[in-house]
Chains A and B, each alone.
Chain A
């Protein structure tokens, strides 16, 4: 089963709002990744984090690697309709053979009606 807990499980956004989501683990990871998945497609890599405390941006997205190495968060600023989708965090352990990833359950971002 999955070891990463993502929250919230779902959220509604209004255009222009800032949103954030996070991911926690019971074990240490040496890499944190954030992916976005649209319906019928595979996950697309958004941001990769390699050092504890690292803060990295990709356009309107900002992610941080927690200093305990057991958590990470993703912020989306000034959201737009195409931000809708499912966001997954993924971690890679130093002990993971071949760099396999462990994924969270996802945060579903939906548009406010």
Chain B
């Protein structure tokens, strides 16, 4: 498709379960970002990839959170031993430099809503 896609769109997990959230970026986009959006809040940065390299993971809230992008396209965000405070929408965004301006802006997917019960 033309945009960023994410799956599943909704996930309910029991506390303590592991979950894996998938992001398919726009084809050819070099950069990929994960954000966490709590209810009623703006998105907060989790981690960033340039191709397959994870260059910034400063926003990951704990070592239960792990992200990978092994071939530089699809990315997976994994949360181990989920807790109730992990309930949020997880947004993926991708970007690549604009040929005309050199600027590169992030285009977001629809998100995965995770509910931990």
Q: How far is the CA of A80 from the CA of B63 in the complex (A)?
A: 45
The answer to whether B48 and A97 have CB atoms under 8 Å apart is yes
**CB-based nearest A residue for B111:** A42
Interface size, B (range): 20 to 34
Instruction: Indicate if the CB atoms of B109 and A103 lie closer than 8 Å.
Output: no
User: Taking A98-B31, A98-B55 as contacts, is the C-beta distance between A42 and B45 under 8 angstroms?
Assistant: no
- Nearest chain B CB to A25 CB, angstrom units: 13
Candidates A31, A41, A97, A106; contact of B42 at CB < 8 Å: A106
A106 to B35: give the CA distance in the assembly, Å.
15
| Complex: A2 Cα to B37 Cα, angstroms | 11
Any chain A CB within 8 A of the CB of B27? Answer: no
Query: Complex: how many Å from CA A97 to CA B103?
Result: 15
Which bracket fits the contact residues of A?
20 to 34
Contact call B41/A43, Cβ cutoff below 8 A: no
A-B contact pairs, 23 of them (CB 8 A): A2-B44, A4-B42, A6-B42, A42-B4, A42-B91, A43-B91, A43-B108, A48-B105, A88-B42, A88-B43, A90-B42, A97-B55, A98-B48, A98-B50, A98-B56, A100-B45, A100-B48, A101-B33, A101-B45, A103-B42, A104-B42, A105-B42, A106-B42
